[in-house]
Amino acid sequence: MTDFAAGDACLLFDKKGRRYLIELIPGAQFHHHHGLLPHDEIIGAEEGTTHESSRGRPLVAVRPRLADFALKMPRGAAVVYPKDSGAILVWADINPGNVVVEAGSGSGALTMALARAVGANGKVISFEVREDHAELAEKRIRGFFNELPNQIELRVGAIEEGLRELRPDRVVLDLPEPWHTVPIAAERLAPGGIFCCYLPTVPQVQEVRAAIDAADVFFDVMTFEMMMREWAVEGRSVRPSHRMIGHTGFITVARKREPAGDR
Ligand SMILES: C[S@@+](CC[C@H](N)C(=O)[O-])C[C@H]1O[C@@H](n2cnc3c(N)ncnc32)[C@H](O)[C@@H]1O
């Protein structure tokens, strides 16, 4: 890992394990309730270094994991939770070199996870209907990577339109009415390609499953949800945490076959 540079995202941990996400800006100061820490002390230093606030409190500086960043970044649209983005990457089998068409970009959290999975030889084309959300997504993506990675292409517009001229390996949706995209995804996805969507409510899942059935080219269809329960480990007291994220969304995944008659 290279040393911290100006513009990098940095996560500071205090003694109590509280975490603070900052962007490193020359001349700026981090204000902790136990003193100040100049960003210039972190810029040029190694990741994992313990710095001291002006009142002698230790602060450990590391790069945020994508999960930390997604949960801590100021956001407009609700993000895909890390427990769910992990499952999306695995069950939609996002792999290096894939061309993924995504919508909506929202706050960019899922776009970043997809971009890492497809790698420098892949492509994530992300559609967003709201210009303000598209701008925010770009800002957040630049905030995390300190640039807009080449494999990410952000487009303002509805996916139902944009997808018509593309031939992706994967279509990944986090928007309220994915059933409008299903017929176009059925047509444009490469055979063997995967359709995936993330939905918060049961009626939405029912509607998208009906559209998937109606398209008549999808098989191996599966809907599931992810539960993540953290444990508190303090000496001999080892038990599940009292609090957990009870519900986020349902993930639906379907594979495309060659339409009958095309063989
Ligand atoms: C829940 S947010 C997506 C959050 C994003 N996955 C993330 O992790 O940050 C849903 C977004 O979809 C956008 N949207 C809704 N319908 C759309 C469509 N047909 N095409 C493109 N974007 C759409 C909304 O404007 C909104 O920003």
pLDDT, tens only, 84-132: 999 999 999 999 999 999 999 999 999 999 999 999 999 999 999 999 9
Q: Report whether residue 197 contacts ligand 1, using a CB cutoff of 6 Å.
A: no
Tell me the pTM: 0.95
87: amino acid identity, one letter = A
Q: Is 251 in the pocket of ligand 1 (CB under 6 A)?
A: no
CA of 158 from ligand 1 middle (Å) equals 9
- Which residue has its alpha carbon closest to ligand 1 atom 2? 106
Residue 67 CB less than 6 A away from ligand 1: no
- Angstrom distance (rounded) from CA 13 to CA 20: 7
Q: Is the CB of 159 under 6 A from ligand 1?
A: yes
Taking the CA atoms of 23, 27, 31 and 35 in sequence, report the sign of the dihedral they define. positive
CATH of 9-64, one of 3.30.499.10, 3.10.330.20, 3.50.50.60, 3.30.1440.10: 3.10.330.20
Q: How far is the CA of 145 from the centre of ligand 1 (A)?
A: 21
Tell me the average pLDDT of the chain. 96
- For CATH 3.40.50.150, the residue range(s) in the chain are 68-256
Query: b or e along 173-186 (b: 16 or more beta carbons within 10 Å of the residue's beta carbon)?
Result: bbbeebbbbbebbb
Is 199 in a helix, a strand, or coil? strand
Say which CATH class 68-256 falls into.
alpha beta
**Which atom of ligand 1 approaches the CA of 180 most closely?**
19
Q: CB-hemisphere CA count at 13 Å for 138?
A: 14
Query: In which residue ranges of the chain is CATH 3.10.330.20 found?
Result: 9-64
